[in-house]
Every structure is written in C-alpha cells, then in structure tokens.
C-alpha cells in the first residue's frame, strides 16, 4: 500500500474522517476497521464502475461524545472499530447495503435510513 500514515489510517481514510467529532482529538482507530472500509470501498467502486467516494459520518467516539449522540453504552465506536457510512452517490441503497453486510458477515452491521453501520468486532451482530 502506498498511503502516507500521517494523513490517515488507510489509503482512502483521513484522520479527520475517523477521529472523534467532539474535537477531543481521539483517533485510536482499529487497523481491522480501516481494512474493512477499504474492502467496502473497493467493492463499491467495482459495482459502480467508477471511483465511489464514501462519506464517513462517524468513526471513533469518546464516551462523552458517544453519550451526546445517543450511542449505545457498549457501542463499537467507543472501541474505535466502527464506521457509520452514508449512502454513496453512485450506488443504489440496496447494492451498498449488500456490500456492507457481506463484508460484515462475521462482525457488526446495521442498516439505517441514511446508510450503514459497519464494524470489525469479532462476533456477528445485527440489531
């Protein structure tokens, strides 16, 4: 891989996208979750037949920020291995949800109205 680790946790993620949105500076992001994002992005590009940017709504959360956005007490965002992703512009919702759910076969996945939660936990979770 050729990304500059000072810019982000993986080639298509910046630290600004994954760090806690409250401004606390927390950016302890799991390499497994970065790899998961890259797999989802890569499959999305193939399905779309073009580059397919994906907006990250939420990555790492500190406990205070997690509480302020109504996150679950044991949210994987607290562990830095979860991402909330908006529907990308160049795919149908069903196609993107299918890609996310397939990549989270053995981890956490949930479909919202606005996109998908994906995470890199070690057991399957749906809600």
- The answer to whether residue 41 forms part of the interface with Zn ion (CB under 5 A) is no
- The answer to whether residue 18 forms part of the interface with Zn ion (CB under 5 A) is no
Q: How far is the CB of 82 from Zn ion (least distance, A)?
A: 5
Q: Which two tokens stand for residue 5?
A: 């680790």
Cβ(4)–Cβ(13) under 8 Å? no
Edge to edge, what strands does the sheet with 125-126 contain?
A: 56-58, 82-86, 115-119, 108-111, 125-126
Residue 22 vs 125, nearer CB to Zn ion? 22
Residue 3 vs 57, nearer CB to Zn ion? 57
Burial environment of residue 127 by CB neighbours within 10 A (0 to 12, 13 to 18, 19 or more): exposed
- The answer to whether residue 104 forms part of the interface with Zn ion (CB under 5 A) is no
- The answer to whether residue 62 forms part of the interface with Zn ion (CB under 5 A) is yes
The residues of the shown chain that bind Zn ion, judged by CB under 5 A, are 20, 22, 24, 62, 65, 82, 84, 117
């Amino acid at each position: 891989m050729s990304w500059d680790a000072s810019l982000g946790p993986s080639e298509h993620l910046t630290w600004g996208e994954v760090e806690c949105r409250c401004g606390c500076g927390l950016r302890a992001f799991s390499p497994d979750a970065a790899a998961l994002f890259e797999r989802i992005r890569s499959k999305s590009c193939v399905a779309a037949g073009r580059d397919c940017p994906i907006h990250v709504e939420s990555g790492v959360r500190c406990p205070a920020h997690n509480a302020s956005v109504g996150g679950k007490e044991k949210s994987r965002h607290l562990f830095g291995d979860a991402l909330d992703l908006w529907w990308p512009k160049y795919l149908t919702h069903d196609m993107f949800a299918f890609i996310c759910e397939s990549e989270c076969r053995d981890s956490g996945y949930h479909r919202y109205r606005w996109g998908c939660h994906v995470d890199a936990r070690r057991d399957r979770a749906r809600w």
